[in-house]
Amino acid sequence: MFYDKCEEILISKESLAKRVEELGDQITADYEGKDLVVIGVLRGSFIFLADLVRAIKMPLSLDFMIAKSYAGTETTGEVRILKDADVKVAGKHVLIVEDIIDSGFTLSKLVPYFENRNAASVRICTALNKPSRRQVKDLHVDYVGFEIPDAFVVGYGLDFNDGMRNFPEIRIYKP
């Protein structure tokens, strides 16, 4: 069955849509008059990213990175960048968009990437945040859709072993 092991809905479609509009309004206000570059971290962010950029009411450019640190439901600690962003970021304001922040290893590796390329600023926007799982203590997260408890979640772009990304809502995965 389609929702097998994922019966419990943590965040509904409607709640996600409402929160994304709020984040879009906030980002629009914060970046007014600035040169904004949005970098989506694939693959998990693709649905959130598509919704978020349509909620940001100002010009922006868009690029993608692919980073991998997970095997199953546990981080491997080692972050590999499988695809880098090509867009020129020097002097521009970079907003990195993630699906979820867990240990924080992935973003702790991505943020310096853009700082070293002389971005005017680098901020982080994540759909979900699991602060209780953080291992990188000094990671500053600027925009958070929802703080969630320590559970493994799937849907709205988030996967378990590359499946379940197409659930329209955030569900708890129970093996």
- Residues forming the site for ligand IMP (CB under 6 A): 44, 69-70, 75, 98-106, 152-154, 158-159
Q: Which residues are catalytic?
A: 102
* Distances in whole angstroms, Cα of residue 49 to Cα of each of 23, 32, 36, 91, 98: 12, 19, 14, 23, 8
Phi/psi zone of residue 143: left (φ > 0), alpha (ψ -120 to 50 degrees), beta?
A: beta
Q: Which does 101 bind (CB under 5 to 8 A by kind): Mg ion, ligand IMP, none?
A: ligand IMP
Gap between the Cα atoms of 157 and 166, Å rounded: 6
Q: How far is the CB of 55 from ligand IMP (least distance, A)?
A: 20
Residue 40 engages Mg ion in binding (rule: CB under 5 A): no
Q: Which does 121 bind (CB under 5 to 8 A by kind): ligand IMP, Mg ion, none?
A: none
Gap between the Cα atoms of 112 and 109, Å rounded: 6
Q: How far is the CB of 77 from ligand IMP (least distance, A)?
A: 8
Figure out which of the listed residues 24, 40, 44, 145 binds Mg ion, where binding follows CB under 5 A.
44
Q: Which does 100 bind (CB under 5 to 8 A by kind): ligand IMP, Mg ion, none?
A: ligand IMP
- Considering beta carbons, is residue 68 or 117 the nearer one to Mg ion? 68
Gap between the Cα atoms of 111 and 138, Å rounded: 12
Q: How far is the CB of 140 from ligand IMP (least distance, A)?
A: 14
Measure the CA angle with vertex 124, ends 137 and 151; round to 5°.
60
Gap between the Cα atoms of 119 and 12, Å rounded: 35
Size of site (CB under 5 A) for Mg ion: 1
